[in-house]
Chains A and B, each alone.
Chain A
Amino acid sequence: MKGIGVDKKGDAVMVTAVLLLSVFLSVGSNLLLNYGEVVGTEEEVLHLTDVEDSLMKIRNSMLTQVKAGDTYTSIINQVTLGTLGNPFIGQARSSGTIDMIPGSSEFLFQILIDDGGVEIPVNSVNGAINYYCNNYYFNNRGYQLEGGGLFIQENGQLIVNTLPLMDISRTQSDWSFGLSIFGISGDRFSISGIESIPLSQMMISYQESFQTLAAGQVLVFRINSMSERAWATGFRSYLNEQDLVENSDYSITDPMDWSSSGDHLEVRLTTLSSFDLQIGEMEVEAL
């Protein structure tokens, strides 16, 4: 026993072993935490791609129902709100919120004919589905699905992902415009979390109209939305691509105040000869 009490080699071995264990544990935990951040960033980026794909799928299936005039098929699409994270490697989860807002408070798209100063209402759609994420590692992003267009909001910037289905057909002397668009209705809901939410959609009403414009008549779109800038950019880009000239074939009037709900974006198709509209009202509910 006396030998053990004065064994200095043994003391050194014990201290060395404890130090080695501590180094091992700290290196391991540091590695896990950094790995968790890398994996978390990647998962959040992939998740945003999934959300965009899901909203595009919703948009495409809604437009398919509008084009077919189908009012007796319900289509279910799912949106995953967030990422699960992984506490075992120190990866935080990110959540998201999906809002379905019917009515014109969030989005209103009016279609009318300006007949020499007299406005003739043709139709209108309203309602939107919005998604906002609450990321831990990557930038936060918002998506707005309204009227058949999908818009992205990130770092205060608005980007057009896609506009409603539009087509322009020309003859030698004039051109006509086709538009397929939908409104969103139903009981308002707002769901937050990380899980997948199945959304059921059914077209509850449908209208199709074809109209030839008389001389002096102009087709006008009035848009009231948080994404007005993106609508303006999208329309300008699309019409220019179709070789239409701004302030000649069409004009776009920006609102005085982009953020004011009382002010709207106006698109006028001044040299248009006829138009064809397909408008559906989609009832959306979360299952």
Chain B
Amino acid sequence: MRRVLSKSDGVTNVVSMIMIIGIITSMMGMVFATYMPAWGKDIESRTEMDMMNSFYDLKSNLDTLAVGGDTGASLTTSFRLGSEGGPLFGFGRSQGSLVFQRDKGSFLVSDLSGRSYGRGIGNIHYTSNHLYINDGDLKMENGAIIRREVGADILKGPPNIILRKDNNTGEATLFVNLMVLESTETDLAGTQSYIIRASLLSSDISTYPVSGGSPISCNMTTQTPSIWLSIYSNITSAEGLVEGPANDYEIASGTDIAGNSFVDMTLHDIDEIKVRTSVFRLELY
């Protein structure tokens, strides 16, 4: 025992190895604590940016197909739901979910007698689950791209609803582009990329003269009423309209019988309505 206790060979080796292990451990700790989370945030942010660009591309494709009016024509958009993360450790790996809902996002143009001029319906909703940055939430309904983050809704792309007043004649024309998204109800989740092909099934433009200043209602059923309130406000303020039952327009919001939120814009003194109703089939590859 005495020989073992007094033997000093090998002590330096042990001390050196412990020091080396300590250096490596502290370096790895620094990498895991600082470097990887920063890289992970970067990867997750890029995933959100790519998805935002995909929504813009899809909206552009749908609007271009509607304008072209070429039935049977189709355009594709790629969507990457999430990210596999960085090398080796998969940091920044995030999953997303993309849902097609055929019966959500109803936009109805009608008059007070109940006559319907057209209806758009269907929405696409993306949500993501991040570790380092805020979870993402993007939605497209009737041509509007809405982003929700930390409880606040932001309009990233306006719908095609235009009110034009002729400066000479004073006649007001309402242009509304309605989108009907037909697809099988789909709920995708994961990190993979998908191709969505949008095909134009039909696109019809109808012009309706409005007699006697009959009020026209644009009613949107939505889970983001605040955004549609601001959309309607922008449309009316662009033409200098005055709000009020005896004035140019009224905006109201509430909940319908089924418990869905809605926002309604009623326009008085409209002389003509031009409605384009485009029906799209969305297919997933």
Partners in one complex: yes
Task: Give the B-binding residues of A (Cβ under 8 A).
Answer: 2-4, 7, 9-11, 13-14, 17, 21, 57, 60-61, 64-65, 67-68, 70, 72-78, 80, 84, 86, 88, 195-196, 198, 287
User: A84, B46: Cβ atoms under 8 Å?
Assistant: yes
In the bound assembly, the distance between CA atoms of A108 and B278 in angstroms comes to 36
What would 29 A/B residue contacts be, using CB atoms closer than 8 Å?
A3-B9, A3-B11, A7-B8, A7-B9, A9-B9, A9-B13, A10-B12, A17-B16, A17-B19, A57-B60, A61-B60, A61-B67, A64-B64, A64-B68, A67-B68, A70-B67, A73-B63, A74-B160, A74-B162, A75-B60, A75-B64, A76-B63, A78-B53, A78-B60, A80-B53, A84-B42, A88-B35, A196-B49, A287-B156
Q: Would A73 and B8 be within 8 Å (CB), given that A9-B13, A78-B53 are in contact?
A: no
In the bound assembly, the distance between CA atoms of A73 and B59 in angstroms comes to 12
Q: Would A13 and B68 be within 8 Å (CB), given that A196-B49, A198-B157 are in contact?
A: no
- Interface size class on chain B is 35 or more
User: A88, B39: Cβ atoms under 8 Å?
Assistant: yes
Residues of A contacting B23 in the complex (Cβ-Cβ under 8 angstroms): 21
Within the complex, what minimum Cβ distance (angstroms) separates B163 from chain A? Answer: 10
Task: Give the A-binding residues of B (Cβ under 8 A).
Answer: 6-13, 15-17, 19-20, 23, 35, 38-39, 42, 46, 49, 52-53, 56-57, 59-60, 63-64, 66-69, 156-158, 160, 162, 164, 175, 177, 274, 276
Q: Considering the complex, give the chain B residue whose CB is closest to the CB of A84.
A: B46
Residues of B contacting A10 in the complex (Cβ-Cβ under 8 angstroms): 10-13, 15-16
In the bound assembly, the distance between CA atoms of A77 and B67 in angstroms comes to 15
Residues of B contacting A74 in the complex (Cβ-Cβ under 8 angstroms): 63, 158, 160, 162
In the bound assembly, the distance between CA atoms of A76 and B42 in angstroms comes to 26
Residues of A contacting B68 in the complex (Cβ-Cβ under 8 angstroms): 64, 67-68
Residues of B contacting A17 in the complex (Cβ-Cβ under 8 angstroms): 16-17, 19-20
Q: Considering the complex, give the chain B residue whose CB is closest to the CB of A60.
A: B64
In the bound assembly, the distance between CA atoms of A65 and B64 in angstroms comes to 8
Residues of B contacting A2 in the complex (Cβ-Cβ under 8 angstroms): 8
Residues of A contacting B60 in the complex (Cβ-Cβ under 8 angstroms): 57, 61, 75-78
Per CB-CB distance, the 4 closest pairs between chain A and chain B, nearest first, are: A10-B12, A3-B8, A72-B175, A78-B56
